Amino acid sequence: MIRVENIYKSFDGNEVLKGISHDFFPGKTNLVIGRSGSGKTVLLKILVGLMAPTSGRVWYDKIDFSTLDKKEIREIRMQVGMLFQGSALFDSLTVEQNIRFPLDMFTNWTTREKLDRVNYCLERVNLAGVNSKFPSATSGWMQKRVGIARAIVLKPKYLFCDEPNSGLDPKTALLIDELIQDITYENQITTIVNTHDMNSVMEVGDNVMLLSGGEIAWTGNKEEVIASDNAVLQDFIFASPFLKRLRVDALEQQKNSRESK
């Protein structure tokens, strides 16, 4: 479990996060949602220690992240995988070398063992056989999956994904969401996903936290989204008039079916 306690963050007087407290659970896709610029990436960077909060604490299970020195942080990070918004694949290395990089750096496995693990991870993201391609020669959707494969190669306990499906069409985006969710369930990982995609929320939102104006505007799960009358949430999820009409219809249906029972 990852817990944040009263996180504040400001940049030169611009207060981006104003007292965020929340729990992220293992074996669940924990979503952080909010409009662009609402501070999702900043929160994620604070969670993984790429940025220091102005005040507040981050707990990895029983460990208070803020008390660790650089070396201890690196040890925790062996259990952390992260998928970056732009995938952040090393472009001078092939797909295989990218995924193998953490193994090369941190394990004493044989070449055979490393290759087996790389191939397992590639298969897991449905990319068997692209080992020798360079990232620049693959599509964005492939790069995301290579990024996921690299993030899970050391069997992390914690997985962070920053907008994993931005720039993808809705159908492909859903496949990525489901892939992340399956991997999370299989390995009981504490997964935290940033997204501004309402489809993700409705499909994989086990534990959703809505950021707005630097504060938590709503928390709940995907089942609770439609019925909630939280104005900020409704405005975020059902952003267009078209979607607002769909929601009204859905509520109507729910009510009718309840009455007919």
Ligand X SMILES: Nc1ncnc2c1ncn2[C@@H]1O[C@H](COP(=O)(O)OP(=O)(O)O)[C@@H](O)[C@H]1O
* Residue 182 within binding range of other proteins, rule CB under 8 A: no
Q: Which residue, 220, 223, 247, is CA-closest to 234?
A: 247
CB under 8 A: which stretch of 98-106, 171-179, 217-225, 231-239 binds other proteins?
A: 98-106
Q: Which does 11 bind (CB under 5 to 8 A by kind): ligand X, Mg ion, other proteins, none?
A: ligand X
Q: Strand locations in the chain, DSSP E?
A: 2-11, 14-24, 28-33, 55-60, 63-64, 80-83, 158-162, 190-195, 207-212, 215-220
Site string for Mg ion, 34-63 (x = CB under 5 A): -------x----------------------
* Residue 106 within binding range of other proteins, rule CB under 8 A: yes
Shortest distance (Å) from residue 22 CB to ligand X: 15
Question: Under rule CB under 6 A, how many of the chain's residues touch ligand X?
Answer: 10
What distance separates the 2 farthest-apart alpha carbons in the chain?
A: 65
Pick the closer one to other proteins by CB: 50 or 246. 50
Q: Which residue, 167, 89, 162, is CA-closest to 130?
A: 89
Q: Which long-range contacts (CB under 8 A, 24 or more apart) does 246-253 make?
A: 250/226, 251/226, 251/227
Q: Which does 261 bind (CB under 5 to 8 A by kind): Mg ion, other proteins, ligand X, none?
A: none
Shortest distance (Å) from residue 231 CB to ligand X: 19
The residue type at 208:
V
Answer for which of 61, 64, 75, 235 binds other proteins (CB under 8 A) is 75
* Residue 16 within binding range of ligand X, rule CB under 6 A: yes
* Residue 88 within binding range of other proteins, rule CB under 8 A: yes
Restricting to residues 189-208, name those near other proteins by CB under 8 A: none
* Residue 46 within binding range of ligand X, rule CB under 6 A: no
Rounded CA separation 225/219 (Å): 9
Q: 166 φ, ψ to 5°?
A: -70, 140
Shortest distance (Å) from residue 27 CB to ligand X: 25
Rounded CA separation 154/100 (Å): 10
Interacting residue ranges for ligand X, rule: CB under 6 A: 11, 16, 34, 36-42
